Amino acid sequence: MSKDKFENDLDKFVNSLFGNNNNKKKTSEPNDTEPAKEAKVVDMNKKPVNGKKIGAIVGSLVAVFAIILIIISNLYVVKENEYKVIRQFGEVIGYKNEPGLNFKIPFIQTVTTLPKNVMIYDMATEEEIMTADKKRIIVDNYAVWKVTDPKLLISNARTIANAEARMEEFIYSTLRTELGTLTYESIINEDKSSRGDLNKTVTERVNLLLTNDKYGIEVVDVRIRRTDLPAENEQSVFTRMISERESMAQKYLSEGDAQKRSIEANTDRTVTEMVSTAEKEAALIRAQGEAEAAKIYNQAFSKDPEFYELFRTLETYKQTIGEDTMIIIPSNSPYARILSGYLE
């Protein structure tokens, strides 16, 4: 083999191994202006890459990653306010209620979350109930409840919505029975109301029904929010209530007037008795005073009878003589002599 032929074969071999990846066509003739490129030499002693070994390494990495992903996807966290119910092939096998991190068996077990805290259920519909006195009322109420056994709830009720539906049926059934024994007035009148006992009774009976059917929930309290009349009965009831209140008001006014007259009569009688007693005591005191005064006068005037006679005469002057008084008497009368200044 000639030297030129060997060089041409070597160039072809190099081009077949390290050709242009973008499949660009090389120019048939070299450009004199461009510098000549050096030919690449392949080390014939280098060992080729082992594809099986690389494939095994990649497969191992994928398997490890898949295992880690499966482990992470099957971890679950139990929080303070929730239950985690574990199912195996659809059957409930237990639940977790302690907070923490747990693991379920992949592809075999599933986890369902249920609330652990107390919840309020507002009744979706208003129930019409007949009272003991044959009057229709509409009751609107709500319930406070909680999950006590998640396993029973999932096994018998399946979902929270189904458990609430069964609880609502029991509540309305019990309310219908209890309110049916009460009159309309005892239900709406605050003074005669027994709602406190009614709420307690309804709660106890609903819990008994839920326990018997094993729904795994407990009603903490049932409360009646309001009681209304059907629209067609409201006006007649309002009219009767107005009439009753007016009659009651008139009764109170009459009783008040009677009580007022009684108080005034008692007061007048007491005043009259007090005035009479005071006048009697005053007359007695006055008589005692006059008697004492007369006694003093007698003692004083008895010491000088002539002075007493003169004093009494002067006293009569005060009563008989005024500014325009005219007296006609004989000149020799004692009365005239005194007026004239003759005392003997």
- Cβ atoms of 116 and 81 within 8 Å: the answer is yes
What is the reported pLDDT for 284?
92
Q: What is the DSSP pairing of strand 82-88 with strand 91-96?
A: antiparallel
- Cβ atoms of 216 and 150 within 8 Å: the answer is yes
What is the reported pLDDT for 11?
61
Q: Where are the alpha helices (DSSP H) in 74-155?
A: 150-152
What is the reported pLDDT for 256?
92
What is the reported pLDDT for 28?
43
Question: What does the domain layout of the chain look like in residue ranges?
Answer: 125-148+156-229, 304-340
Note the pTM of the prediction, 2 decimals: 0.49
What is the reported pLDDT for 213?
87
What is the reported pLDDT for 259?
92
Q: CA 215, CA 213: separation in Å to the nearest integer?
A: 6
What is the reported pLDDT for 6?
45
In tens digits, the chain (344 residues) has pLDDT values of 444 444 555 566 555 555 544 444 444 444 444 444 454 554 555 555 566 777 777 788 888 888 888 777 777 788 888 888 888 887 878 888 788 787 777 888 788 888 888 888 887 677 778 777 777 788 888 889 999 988 888 888 888 889 888 998 898 888 888 888 877 777 776 555 555 577 888 888 999 999 898 888 999 988 888 777 776 666 776 787 888 889 999 999 999 999 999 999 999 999 999 999 999 999 999 999 988 888 887 887 777 777 777 777 777 777 777 677 677 777 777 667 666 665 55
Q: Is 43 helix (H, G, I), strand (E, B) or coil?
A: coil
- The whole-angstrom distance between residue 4's C-alpha and the CA centroid of its chain comes to 106
- Domain 125-148+156-229 - what CATH class? alpha beta
Q: Which two tokens stand for residue 226?
A: 């309001």
What is the reported pLDDT for 46?
54
What is the reported pLDDT for 195?
53
Q: Which two tokens stand for residue 274?
A: 């007090």
How many Cβ atoms from other residues are within 10 Å of residue 312's Cβ?
10
